[in-house]
Amino acid sequence: MNTSNNRPFFTGAPGPLAVPVSPYPPPGSPSTVIEVRPAGYMGLGVFATQNILKGTRIIDEPPVFTFHSHLCEDDEYGGGISGYASDDSDESMLDEGVSMRNDNDQENFTDQGQEEMDNDEDMNDDDEENDDEEEEDAYKGSPLPATVFRFCDELLLQGLLDGKLSAMEDLSYSQAMYENERIRELIRRFFHERVYPSQPNCSPLSSEELESKVQQFARLYAIRMRCQYSPHTTEHPGSPEGIYALQARINHSCMPNAWHDLNGATGRMTVHAVRDIRAGEQIFVAYGEYLRRTIAERNAELLQMDEIQGCMCAMCLNPYTDELQAQVYRLFWGAFYFLYPDARDVLTETMDVRAAADAAEALRMAQAAVEVLKNPLMDAETKVLADTYRMCCFLCQKLQQPGQAMVYAGLETSLQLIIRGVDNPNFQEADARFRDLQRL
Ligand SMILES: [Zn+2]
């Protein structure tokens, strides 16, 4: 269904809709409402050049680079390269382990890194790392050979070094990954084992040329670790991880004024304003899924995954928000596990949550979660609120309350439009549900 030229029209949706009247800029056109410039201690950032209305599409861009890490189920590299361990386990675990979570591009790294550390022992023989570097490895996680080899292969396949490198080369990167000598050694081996044997007529690189290539690849690997966007595996099945040059420039806040999301239909990254933004304001998105976690947990993850020292957003500066987060956590998952009891097997981290006993209690919990999410201290006008509205809708349907179900479907639809836009499948799905309920 191509609705990109139509404005949404769910006239029955409750409450006023803060939808901008201006159309989206055509895909691929340079955004005129933002610019990239220095952002103090944050390095570079993205700033509004004019007042931006809530719901405006700020960015709509294709990936510069994609990496099919979670699609590598075959054994092309794992075990196929002499002496290299297979890392298939980390990919399958990634798919199964996080598929029920929300957009958690950061957590993928956590799982992957841990699994890689667990499976990494046979690579230690020829390591020359000192204690400091080993400590760093233990902290960051070391990539398995097959992961590095796949990455290098994709770099060559996508012609990045010739064509698109300039779009990526000024992106921020993980210093620890860039300086990781094990990664460099693996990249050297990649050239020796994969590039030279398959191209017997090519004259080998001089050692200086090789080192220059190794540095380039290591830098891109480090950029990938910092900047890539990992799509949610159930919402975007089969979608690769990607690096989006402009979106990757946006800094983090736990109370963001914008929402970034992969459009599963177009394969493009979109960023939408989730509240009105004044000219000159910096654009922020939330890295990973930060709602329902404590300040300490969020900051530990930001440090580990993004090397960010302490978020300074209003939520992180107010310890009371931890209590609100805890309430949302208990209420959201209590309702969720009533609707999806099987998910409990996967989401062991929330085992301490008590599932609602019946649909009526689940609805009360979801409705209470909505109230907390709407607290200005949380300012959580995000996907979590949309998800909670959807749960309320499903629970009202279970309780034979079609009128109330329609109200919640309309609320979700309004929010999906703001955070994802009219051409996004998640919006279209919510909109279709709302229309179906209207017809009842
Ligand atoms: Zn914060």
Strand partners, 52: 277
φ and ψ of 365, to 5 deg: -65, -45
Determine the distance separating the centroid of ligand 1 and the alpha carbon of 187, expressed in angstroms.
36
- Token readout for 411 is 């609320």
Range list of H helices, 280-382: 295-306, 320-339, 359-373
Determine the distance separating the centroid of ligand 1 and the alpha carbon of 117, expressed in angstroms.
28
Give the pTM: 0.73
Question: Per mean pLDDT, which range of 134-138, 193-197, 424-428 is the poorest?
Answer: 134-138
Q: How far apart are CA 160 and CA 154, in angstroms?
A: 9
Determine the distance separating the centroid of ligand 1 and the alpha carbon of 253, expressed in angstroms.
5
C-alpha dihedral (414, 261, 60, 370), degrees to nearest 10: 20
Determine the distance separating the centroid of ligand 1 and the alpha carbon of 289, expressed in angstroms.
12
Determine the distance separating the centroid of ligand 1 and the alpha carbon of 391, expressed in angstroms.
26
Q: What pLDDT was estimated at residue 250? A: 93
Q: How far apart are CA 182 and CA 285, in angstroms?
A: 32
Structure-model confidence comparison of residues 153 and 350, the more confident one: 153
Determine the distance separating the centroid of ligand 1 and the alpha carbon of 100, expressed in angstroms.
24
Determine the distance separating the centroid of ligand 1 and the alpha carbon of 225, expressed in angstroms.
21
Determine the distance separating the centroid of ligand 1 and the alpha carbon of 167, expressed in angstroms.
28
Question: In the predicted model, what is the mean pLDDT of residues 290-308?
Answer: 77
Contact 395, 335 (CB under 8 A): yes
Amino acid (1-letter code) at residue 369: A
Contact 2, 425 (CB under 8 A): no
Q: Is 59 helix (H, G, I), strand (E, B) or coil?
A: strand
Question: In the predicted model, what is the mean pLDDT of residues 67-86?
Answer: 43
pLDDT at 58 over 90: yes
Determine the distance separating the centroid of ligand 1 and the alpha carbon of 102, expressed in angstroms.
18
Determine the distance separating the centroid of ligand 1 and the alpha carbon of 303, expressed in angstroms.
12
Model pLDDT for residues 188-209, shown as the tens digit of each residue: 888 887 776 655 566 666 778 8
In the chain, % of residues over pLDDT 90: 31
Q: What pLDDT was estimated at residue 161? A: 55
With CA atoms as reference, report the closest residue to 59 among 430, 420, 427, 422: 420
Question: In the predicted model, what is the mean pLDDT of residues 313-318?
Answer: 90
Structure-model confidence comparison of residues 432 and 129, the more confident one: 432
Q: What pLDDT was estimated at residue 201? A: 60
pLDDT at 224 over 60: yes
How wide is the angle at C-alpha 61 spanned by C-alphas 55 and 64, nearest 5°? 150
With CA atoms as reference, report the closest residue to 266 among 9, 27, 433: 27
Determine the distance separating the centroid of ligand 1 and the alpha carbon of 259, expressed in angstroms.
15
Determine the distance separating the centroid of ligand 1 and the alpha carbon of 232, expressed in angstroms.
22
Determine the distance separating the centroid of ligand 1 and the alpha carbon of 316, expressed in angstroms.
4
Model pLDDT for residues 340-354, shown as the tens digit of each residue: 988 877 766 666 789
Range list of H helices, 158-291: 165-168, 175-178, 181-190, 196-198, 207-227
Determine the distance separating the centroid of ligand 1 and the alpha carbon of 81, expressed in angstroms.
43
Determine the distance separating the centroid of ligand 1 and the alpha carbon of 314, expressed in angstroms.
7
Contact 225, 179 (CB under 8 A): no
Determine the distance separating the centroid of ligand 1 and the alpha carbon of 37, expressed in angstroms.
21
C-beta atoms surrounding 312 within 10 Å: 12
Determine the distance separating the centroid of ligand 1 and the alpha carbon of 276, expressed in angstroms.
19
pLDDT at 187 over 70: yes
Question: Per mean pLDDT, which range of 217-231, 351-365, 426-440 is the poorest?
Answer: 217-231
Determine the distance separating the centroid of ligand 1 and the alpha carbon of 290, expressed in angstroms.
8
C-beta atoms surrounding 275 within 10 Å: 16
Determine the distance separating the centroid of ligand 1 and the alpha carbon of 383, expressed in angstroms.
17
Determine the distance separating the centroid of ligand 1 and the alpha carbon of 286, expressed in angstroms.
8
Question: In the predicted model, what is the mean pLDDT of residues 159-169?
Answer: 65
Determine the distance separating the centroid of ligand 1 and the alpha carbon of 153, expressed in angstroms.
36
Q: What pLDDT was estimated at residue 69? A: 62
Q: How far apart are CA 334 and CA 362, in angstroms?
A: 7
φ and ψ of 225, to 5 deg: -65, -30
- Kindly list the structural domains of the chain, giving each domain's residue range(s) and its CATH number in brackets, ordered by start: 34-62+244-439 (2.170.270.10), 65-227 (no CATH)
Determine the distance separating the centroid of ligand 1 and the alpha carbon of 256, expressed in angstroms.
9
Reported confidence tier of residue 395, pLDDT bands at 50, 70, 90? very high
Determine the distance separating the centroid of ligand 1 and the alpha carbon of 64, expressed in angstroms.
28
Determine the distance separating the centroid of ligand 1 and the alpha carbon of 216, expressed in angstroms.
33
Q: Is 395 helix (H, G, I), strand (E, B) or coil?
A: helix
Q: How far apart are CA 176 and CA 185, in angstroms?
A: 15
Q: How far apart are CA 374 and CA 387, in angstroms?
A: 13
Determine the distance separating the centroid of ligand 1 and the alpha carbon of 315, expressed in angstroms.
6
Identify the residue whose tokens are 């675990």.
93
**Strand 284-285 vs strand 251-252: parallel, antiparallel, or unpaired?**
parallel
CB proximity list for 256: less than 8 A, separation 6 or greater: 274, 284, 285, 286, 382
Mean pLDDT of the chain: 74
Determine the distance separating the centroid of ligand 1 and the alpha carbon of 311, expressed in angstroms.
4
Determine the distance separating the centroid of ligand 1 and the alpha carbon of 63, expressed in angstroms.
27
**Rg from Cα positions in the chain:** 23
Question: In the predicted model, what is the mean pLDDT of residues 199-228?
Answer: 79
Sign of CA dihedral 164, 170, 176, 178: positive
Determine the distance separating the centroid of ligand 1 and the alpha carbon of 161, expressed in angstroms.
36
